[in-house]
């Protein structure tokens, strides 16, 4: 027993994160496998349980079985618990349990928490975890209360309350699971500002990142925001506002989406279509009926995703912001990347480039394999599905329910990589190595 414990302690923080998420996924799959989890009382095929559990823990929303009609309340409750654990991170929940039972948080656990929450240091990490838990439950509670205005009159007190809580947690954690039934997502509420705006705000809040909210919370005392928070807030605003405008332009004359809606419905649906790909997976309009430009914009937003240390996936807003400003600095002839009158170190630029290239390569490889296994599916559908899985979004053009066994395994793996992070996976698999003390002679290569 001591040997096993020592082996566990020898794992690096990124390895513990990767293993921890995998364990939670397997536990959820076995719970969903129980006959009590299915409406017909028959045990669900394990591959579908594994796919659903992976999608829930990785807060994606892609499903092979309709959540609202296939699972019992036991199954739905298992799913929403997995979503909450996956959204906040299992280490945050472990911290909660430790605090409840009075257990001391060790240095090793603090290092894992630092990695999980993308914090700059371990100083104040436990206090930050407490605030994250309080903030999360408070925002989810407010969201559920607002949505109950619509759901309770429609479904009754108990069912309406359950639906409100479920969708509030799912939205804040950027999961995209819904209980509406028959794979309709939120299309029946496309003209309902209470549901659409509440879900959208929850998605944005959950996708900003806990470190950003921690700084906003302390802004009255500090009167300043870090460069990270400034970049995240700026890029998020640009993507939401710009995405909404372009989505409105692309879909304005499309009878399959918003053409026949009222002005209010058009604005709401365009705004929601720009918010949900980052990375919630709800949809208030038919994704398969969107224009080619609208679907391509969605793919771009899904690949970018939310912000570091948040419930969202993708390469993250800070990454794309750093890369864009690096290009701008190069064009201006600057030696350093400059953002908001601050210079960014080259190690962060290298990391951003590595994350982007690994992510792009992952989507590319998954797309190539799916093009072989999913016979008859168009390349556009496959790229959309692969990007949605990597970005832990959950949007689909209808391919998810038609996936082959290999396709389900591959998409599950992609969701896992997208949630844990491609860089984390790479570091977890890599052998421990120290910095190379040897510096080779510098030379030049022609580029461009």
Strand duo 337-339 + 342-344: pairing: antiparallel
Please give the tally of structural domains in the chain: 1
Picking from 6-20, 51-65, 84-98, 357-371, which range would have the lowest pLDDT averaged per residue? 6-20
Calpha distance 173→170 (Å, rounded)? 5
**pLDDT for residue 1 is more than 50:** no
pLDDT value at position 427?
53
Mean pLDDT, residues 342-360 = 90
Calpha distance 48→28 (Å, rounded)? 12
Cα dihedral 367, 371, 375, 380 in deg (nearest 10) = 70
Q: Rounded to an integer, what is the distance from CA 303 to the centroid of its chain? A: 10
How many Cβ atoms sit within 10 Å of the Cβ of residue 292? 9
User: Is the distance from CB of 165 to CB of 177 less than 8 angstroms?
Assistant: no
**Which is more confidently placed, 172 or 279?**
172
Calpha distance 171→202 (Å, rounded)? 6
Question: 62-71, pLDDT tens digit by residue?
Answer: 999 999 999 9
Q: Is 343 helix (H, G, I), strand (E, B) or coil?
A: strand
Question: What residues make up the domain containing 185?
Answer: 10-427
Question: 221-245, pLDDT tens digit by residue?
Answer: 888 899 999 999 999 999 999 999 9
**pLDDT for residue 6 is more than 70:** no
Q: Rounded to an integer, what is the distance from CA 189 to the centroid of its chain? A: 23
Residue 447 lies in a domain: no
Residue 5 lies in a domain: no
**What is the residue whose two structure tokens read 């095929």?**
45
Residue 309 confidence class, pLDDT cut points 50, 70, 90: confident
Question: 74-109, pLDDT tens digit by residue?
Answer: 999 999 999 998 887 655 655 555 555 555 666 555
Calpha distance 170→93 (Å, rounded)? 17
Q: Is 26 helix (H, G, I), strand (E, B) or coil?
A: helix
pTM: 0.88
Residue 4 lies in a domain: no
| Helix intervals (H) in 332-391 | 346-373, 379-390
Q: How many helices (H) and strands (E) does the chain have?
A: 20, 2
**What is the residue whose two structure tokens read 């509670």?**
141
Residue 190 lies in a domain: yes
Residue 98 lies in a domain: yes
Phi and psi, residue 343, nearest 5°: -100, 135
Residue 432 lies in a domain: no
pLDDT value at position 444?
78
Beta bridge partners of 343: 338
Question: Mean pLDDT: which of 66-80, 272-286, 428-442 is highest?
Answer: 66-80
Residue 445 lies in a domain: no
Question: 160-195, pLDDT tens digit by residue?
Answer: 999 999 999 999 998 989 999 889 899 999 889 999
């Amino acid at each position: 027993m001591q040997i096993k414990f020592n082996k566990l302690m020898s794992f690096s923080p990124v390895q513990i994160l990767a293993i921890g998420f995998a364990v939670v996924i397997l536990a959820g799959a076995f719970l969903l496998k129980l006959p009590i989890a299915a409406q017909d009382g028959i045990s669900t095929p394990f591959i579908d349980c594994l796919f659903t559990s992976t999608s829930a823990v990785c807060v994606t929303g892609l499903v092979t079985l309709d959540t609202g009609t296939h699972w019992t309340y036991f199954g739905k409750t298992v799913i929403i618990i997995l979503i909450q654990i996956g959204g906040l991170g299992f280490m945050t929940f472990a911290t909660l349990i430790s605090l409840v039972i009075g257990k001391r948080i060790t240095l090793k656990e603090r290092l894992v928490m630092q990695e999980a929450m993308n914090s700059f240091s371990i100083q104040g990490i436990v206090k930050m975890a407490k605030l994250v838990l309080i903030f999360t439950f408070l925002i989810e509670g407010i969201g559920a209360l607002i949505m109950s205005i619509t759901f309770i009159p429609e479904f009754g007190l108990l069912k309406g309350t359950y639906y409100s809580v479920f969708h509030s947690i799912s939205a804040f954690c950027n999961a995209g699971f819904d209980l509406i039934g028959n794979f309709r997502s939120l299309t029946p509420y496309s003209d309902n500002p209470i549901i659409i705006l509440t879900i959208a705000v929850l998605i944005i809040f959950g996708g900003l990142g806990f470190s950003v909210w921690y700084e906003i919370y302390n802004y009255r005392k500090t009167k300043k925001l870090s460069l990270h928070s400034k970049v995240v807030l700026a890029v998020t605003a640009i993507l939401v506002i710009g995405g909404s405008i372009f989505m409105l332009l692309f879909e304005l004359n499309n009878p399959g989406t918003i053409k026949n809606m009222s002005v209010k419905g058009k604005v709401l649906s365009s705004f929601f279509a720009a918010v949900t790909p980052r990375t919630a997976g709800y949809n208030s309009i038919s994704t398969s009926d969107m224009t080619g430009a609208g679907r391509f914009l969605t793919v771009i937003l899904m690949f970018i995703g939310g912000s570091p240390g948040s419930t969202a996936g993708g390469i993250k807003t800070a990454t794309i912001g750093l890369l864009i400003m690096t290009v701008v600095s190069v064009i201006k002839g600057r030696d350093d990347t400059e953002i908001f009158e601050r210079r960014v170190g080259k190690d962060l630029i290298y990391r951003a480039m590595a994350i982007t290239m690994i992510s792009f390569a992952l989507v590319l490889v998954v797309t190539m394999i799916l093009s072989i296994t999913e016979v008859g599916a168009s390349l556009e559908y496959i790229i959309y599905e692969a990007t949605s899985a990597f970005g832990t979004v959950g949007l689909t053009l209808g391919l998810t329910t038609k996936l082959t066994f290999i396709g389900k395994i591959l998409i599950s793996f992609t969701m896992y990589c997208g949630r844990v992070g491609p860089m984390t996976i790479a570091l977890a698999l890599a052998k421990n190595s120290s910095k190379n003390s040897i510096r080779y002679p510098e030379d030049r290569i022609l580029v461009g």
